[in-house]
Amino acid sequence: MAVSLTKGQKLSLSKTGGGELTRVFMGLGWDAVARGLFRKKSVDIDLDASVLLFDASRKLVDEVWFQQLRSKDGSVTHTGDNLTGEGDGDDEVIHIDLPAVPANVASLVFTVSSFTGQNFSQVQNAVCRLVDAGQPAEVELARYELSDAGPHTAQIMAKLTREGSGWAMTAIGAPAQGRHIRDLRDAVAAHL
């Protein structure tokens, strides 16, 4: 059963009954707020899920986003850019092969930004979720509602950090400004 996280809450990624997760994915889903007289029209909003990989000294090691869909070592992959948020379920997905993440990577920070420049007051039903993809049937481990509507164009969603031989997820949910990952590097560094 998934844990619904609040800002700052941390969740160990050890499996119940022992063992560690091996393959997970972070899914991002959203809808545009309906506008107009009968609220039937909405403007397409292009949100982008991205992840930055940092070493223990907080130095950026790599990044995965819509213009670089795979980490240099291949342990992190992005399924591609969804330009509208239309449809049910995850609109963008980032897969992580945890045992393959290089030993020098201490944390992975996930962000979402509005490439088209709309702010989060124009987005609804935005959620990120961490899913155990190492099972025959996917199991949602944690869910974080991105419910802070406001004038920000980006959000630092969550981070995965090494804890001993395993990993933990921390919900961040910090508003930021930027249209893509390169605009967010300084804001992300404050949450390492």
37 pLDDT higher than 60: no
DSSP 71: -
DSSP per position, 127-166:
EEEEEE-SSSS-EEEEEEE----SS-SEEEEEEEEEETTE
What value does the mean pLDDT take over residues 62-77?
Answer: 95
**How many structural domains comprise the chain?**
1
pLDDT given for residue 39 in this prediction: 47
**Which has more pLDDT, 179 or 150?**
179
Q: Is the pTM of this model over 0.75?
A: yes
Q: Is residue 76 part of a domain?
A: yes
Determine what percent of the chain is predicted with pLDDT higher than 70: 79
User: Which stretch of DSSP H or E encloses residue 186?
Assistant: helix 185-189
Q: Is residue 1 part of a domain?
A: no
pLDDT given for residue 41 in this prediction: 47
- Give the range among 28-32, 107-111, 185-189 with minimum mean pLDDT: 28-32
Query: Whole domain around residue 147: which residue ranges?
Result: 13-34+43-189
Q: Rounded to a whole number, what is the largest CA-CA distance in the chain?
A: 55
CATH number of domain containing 77: 2.60.60.30
Q: Is residue 49 part of a domain?
A: yes
Q: Is residue 146 part of a domain?
A: yes
Q: Is residue 184 part of a domain?
A: yes
Q: Is residue 6 part of a domain?
A: no
**Which has more pLDDT, 160 or 129?**
160
189 pLDDT higher than 60: yes
Q: Is residue 7 part of a domain?
A: no
